[in-house]
Amino acid sequence: MRIPIEWLNEYVKIPKNISVLTDGLTMAGHMLDKIDNTKYGTVIDLELRGNRADCYSILGIAREVSAIFKTPLTHPKTDTLHKTIKKISGLFLKADSNYVKRVMMVKINNVKITKSPDWLKNRLSAYGIEPLNNIVDLTNYVMLETGEPMHAFDADRIGGDVFIRIAKKGEKIITFQNKTIVLTDDDLVWSNNKNILSVAGAIGSKEFSITDNTQNIILEAASYEQANIRRTIYRHNLLTDAGIRHEKKLDPTLVEEGIRRYLYLIKNEGWGEMGGELFDFYPSPITSKRITLYYDYINRLSGFEIDKKISVDVLRRLNMKIVGNTKDSIQVIPPSYRTDIESKEDLVEEILRIVGYDKIPNNVLSLEIPPDKMPEYIEQERSVKNILISLGFEEVISIPFTAPKYQPLNSSLSQRTNPVIVANRPSPEIEEMRMNMLPSEKYTEYRAAGILYWEKDGMSYRKFKGKLEAFFTILNIADVKYEESECQILTESFKILLENNIVGIGGNYKGAYFAEIYLDNLLGKSRITKVNLWPKHPPQIEDMTIKIPRGVMAGEVMQKIKSSSTLVSEVELKDTYNISYTFRISYQHPEKTLTNKEVEKARNSISIKLKNDLNLTLDA
């Protein structure tokens, strides 16, 4: 939030030394980002980290300065002459949505469209908003001053009734920036009988904007359900100054403050005449929150004793009403603009940030330090990363969200049939939780972020599967099986089984070998490492070639060979040619050296096992 010092000084006396001001604001939770010395004067840029909707205004920061430095606050002048009514002459407004908390609207006739005076242009320019004309500039000025966004329409172009409603899917609006927005059935809009006037809380239509030919305007200020506005502005990439404020849970009473301030200024400058009374739609007025705060709770939560008088003084400086004060507790009503205060803990935080967090004493921990026990899943994740790196893989960190167009045939690789939709998406493009790893890698590849694919090294399926086997071996997980599976988007696709449960999937995706392993299914499956004595007697080793037709898994053949005789100690796939597979088999007995007859008997057992179970024969 950029704060021109000259503007701030109009409402509150500030320290002569800017660093004293910025240090005080930083200690109170409003961290200084930078100080700009512009041709319009000094501007401080604050990083507003808390959910403080009231601080997105010059007046809101002035209140903070007043509380921190104990200086009086001067409120800007507002219109006090006009009463509010429920119907505006010549115009009907219907708010057909639960997302509308409050709307105020007024018609202003015979407006004079001109360039803004220097005092208005300079303050907007210092903030970073380019001046347009006096009517539009004044809406931006009041928004920056009070924190209440507002919008002005050309009244003569509306030509009838006004509605606030949910858009129909596919409706379009062209903004004053010539950007076409295709709306969804979750977007709140202003409209007349035919066209969209504006996207509520975000941006207006070019067709109904103020031009040099405008003679009469409709001015509106509103308060909406902030989650809906947030979804809309991120869905359509409409991160405007108005949208930023609307998503912060604005105070509905601010609507009247903002619109009356505008009326005062436009009358004072002689730019228009009131065309009637103020229309006010306020179906469910907010009620004051009353919070009981015990003094001993303040001390207990703070970690040190704060004098009762200091606590009460701080709360009053923050414009909170003390409606009950006993020796043990106080009853506090926060001002309506402090929509972030919900509990007694919030009040203690307010006291602490004004008293100063640096006042909290440094005490040695008196309790026994709990053991630093790492959760099993975190240990597993670290181990898995290290194993994969040791096997030659490189880690790519990607976000868990994806765009629908990069969610390839979701049901093919995921047990879910539909993706999870993200309500508060981080950007308009990505609105779904990814259902597998492929969307993220495809998205990364599309954005040319350097994803490494193994086919660059010519890795075959056999080599890739060897990497997977090594991975499970290092994890001490035995009896992992690989079975062929059908998948629309993968070739050579397979599923990984452990104890007849699927623990992973894989295959070839456009030339890149891919595997996704479900780590949760592997928790607790690692075997305890057992150390065997080095065998006293050497093994008998021979190669055996078997023709394996398509449809029979080589891994299954290896399992059959190993289970055919207790003398088979190891089976290894050495070579393949067409459908011929050569296995290296080790025969070994722990107590003696095997004779040729014993090896021949074991070999015959293998032959019989393969013939009976898989209908396979050994090559001559």
3-state secondary structure of 94: strand
Cα atoms in the Cβ-side hemisphere of radius 13 Å centred on 540: 18
What angle do helix axes 554-563 and 596-614 make, rounded to 10 degrees?
130
Question: What mean pLDDT is predicted for residues 287-309?
Answer: 93
- What pLDDT does 600 receive? 92
Q: Give the Å distances, CA to CA, from 178 to 27, 120, 174, 427.
A: 43, 26, 6, 21
Which helix (H) or strand (E) segment holds residue 218: the answer is strand 217-224
- Rounded to two decimals, the pTM is 0.69
Decide which of 1.10.760.10, 3.30.70.380, 1.10.1060.10, 3.40.50.10320 is the CATH code for 540-614: 3.30.70.380
What integer best gives the mean pLDDT of the chain?
A: 87
Percent of all residues in the chain with a pLDDT value above 70, rounded to a whole number: 92
- What pLDDT does 414 receive? 53
Q: Which of 355, 338, 240, 242 is nearest to 291 (CA)?
A: 338
11's tokens: 């409402």
What top-level class would CATH report for the domain 291-359? alpha beta
Q: Which of 208, 220, 215, 218 is nearest to 175 (CA)?
A: 208
Torsions phi, psi of 123, nearest 5? -70, -40
- What pLDDT does 444 receive? 46
Residue 201 scores a pLDDT above 70? yes
At 389-428, the pLDDT tens digits run 888 888 877 777 777 766 654 444 555 567 788 877 776 6
Residue range(s) of every CATH 3.30.56.10 domain in the chain: 2-69, 291-359
Residue range(s) of every CATH 3.30.70.380 domain in the chain: 540-614
Residue range(s) of every CATH 3.50.40.10 domain in the chain: 84-281
- What pLDDT does 491 receive? 81
Residue range(s) of every CATH 3.30.930.10 domain in the chain: 376-522
Determine the Cα angle at 456 with ends 452 and 459, to 5°: 105
At 489-512, the pLDDT tens digits run 778 888 888 888 888 888 887 777
The lowest-confidence range among 167-171, 200-204, 298-302, 515-519 is 515-519
Residue 59 scores a pLDDT above 90? yes
- Highest mean predicted confidence (pLDDT) among 429-433, 510-514, 570-574: 570-574
Strands 217-224, 203-204: pairing is unpaired
Decide which of 3.30.930.10, 3.30.420.40, 3.10.105.10, 3.40.50.10470 is the CATH code for 376-522: 3.30.930.10
The lowest-confidence range among 99-103, 200-204, 355-359, 492-496 is 492-496
The C-alpha R_g of the chain, in whole angstroms, comes to 36
Q: What's the first-to-final CA gap in the chain, in angstroms?
A: 83
- What pLDDT does 190 receive? 93
Segments in 272-405 forming alpha helices (H): 295-302, 308-317, 344-355, 376-390
Q: Cβ-count burial of 397 within 10 angstroms (0-12 exposed, 13-18 middle, 19+ buried)?
A: exposed
At 546-565, the pLDDT tens digits run 999 988 888 889 989 999 99
Q: Which of 51, 8, 9 is nearest to 30 (CA)?
A: 51
Which CATH fold topology does 2-69 show?
A: Phenylalanyl-tRNA Synthetase; Chain B, domain 1 (3.30.56)
Report the distance separating Cα 419 and Cα 401, nearest Å: 10
- What pLDDT does 527 receive? 77
**Model confidence at 87, in pLDDT bands (50, 70, 90)?**
low
What top-level class would CATH report for the domain 84-281? alpha beta
Torsions phi, psi of 506, nearest 5? -170, 180
Give the position of tokens 């014993």. 598
Q: Which of 217, 265, 254, 223 is nearest to 78 (CA)?
A: 265
